[in-house]
A and B are shown apart, each in its own frame.
Chain A
Amino acid sequence: QKEVEQNSGPLSVPEGAIASLNCTYSDRGSQSFFWYRQYSGKSPELIMSIYSNGDKEDGRFTAQLNKASQYVSLLIRDSQPSDSATYLCAVKGNNAGNMLTFGGGTRLMVKP
């Protein structure tokens, strides 16, 4: 079992729709959760971080965390073609280190 799992996609949504990206993780002691967006050939860019159960909203993005279910999701409202990218879920454990454990990423395609 992978430590952080994501559906590789592609997830295709029409422009203006809500895109829902999901991630599960295996380490129950994980404390910090991140969503990175990566355009092809570019650096991963942090778009959301979440540390406690519930929802966290930032503009068109909402991150949702459920530690009991070991599940974190990212909702993108009013999806735009410019949102087309690979979305990476990353998790940081509660050990002394600061390493991120990544999922394989979900490729999102927003069609005009």
Chain B
Amino acid sequence: EAGVTQFPSHSVIEKGQTVTLRCDPISGHDNLYWYRRVMGKEIKFLLHFVKESKQDESGMPNNRFLAERTGGTYSTLKVQPAELEDSGVYFCASSQSRGQQFFGPGTRLTVL
């Protein structure tokens, strides 16, 4: 069974540019989560999808971040415009119902 996959693995962009991160959950997992870890800090929750609906987006830092999950399969997280403080590792996780969350390898974002 394939795990959670994320693309790209690394992204380097300049301040003010736009970046879109993609997450493909484990097949059949209706729940999809985005987390991020900024340098020197703990992993922090961003938001939670159940199928295509946003169940909880309390962790989204500001309106420069837009997450979508059209069709309830893969999800994208767009940052527009990117700022220096957005640099970090963005993790996606998926789960069946409220069970164990399986994490992807993360996308390392560097904003210069």
**A101 and B101 contacting across the interface, CB-CB below 8 Å:** no
CB distance from B29 to the nearest CB of A (A): 12
**B42 and A42 contacting across the interface, CB-CB below 8 Å:** no
Segment among B14-22, B69-77, B103-111 that sits at the interface with chain A: B103-111
Contact mask for chain A residues 89-111; partner B; CB cutoff 8 A; 1 contact, 0 none = 00000000111111111000000
Contacts between chains A and B (CB distance < 8 A), count: 54
**B104 and A43 contacting across the interface, CB-CB below 8 Å:** yes
Residue of B with least CB distance to A6:
B42
Segment among A44-52, A65-73, A75-83 that sits at the interface with chain B: A44-52
Q: B59 in the interface, Cβ–Cβ < 8 Å?
A: yes
Set of chain B residues within 8 Å of A104, measured between Cβ atoms: 41-42
Q: B79 in the interface, Cβ–Cβ < 8 Å?
A: no
Assembly CA distance A4 to B102 (angstroms) = 20
**B43 and A43 contacting across the interface, CB-CB below 8 Å:** no
Set of chain A residues within 8 Å of B105, measured between Cβ atoms: 41-43
**A102 and B56 contacting across the interface, CB-CB below 8 Å:** no
Assembly CA distance A9 to B102 (angstroms) = 25
**B95 and A98 contacting across the interface, CB-CB below 8 Å:** yes
**A99 and B59 contacting across the interface, CB-CB below 8 Å:** yes
CB distance from B108 to the nearest CB of A (A): 9
Assembly CA distance A49 to B102 (angstroms) = 13
8 Å CB interface, A13-46 against B: 36, 41-46
Set of chain B residues within 8 Å of A100, measured between Cβ atoms: 33, 35, 43, 45, 101
CB distance from A104 to the nearest CB of B (A): 4
CB distance from A86 to the nearest CB of B (A): 11
Contact mask for chain B residues 36-48; partner A; CB cutoff 8 A; 1 contact, 0 none = 0000011111001
Assembly CA distance A97 to B49 (angstroms) = 11
CB distance from A1 to the nearest CB of B (A): 13
- Given the interface pairs A49-B100, A98-B48, A100-B101, the reply to whether A44 lies near B56 with Cβ below 8 Å is no
Set of chain A residues within 8 Å of B87, measured between Cβ atoms: none
A residues in contact (CB < 8 Å) with B: 2, 4, 36, 41-46, 49, 88, 97-105
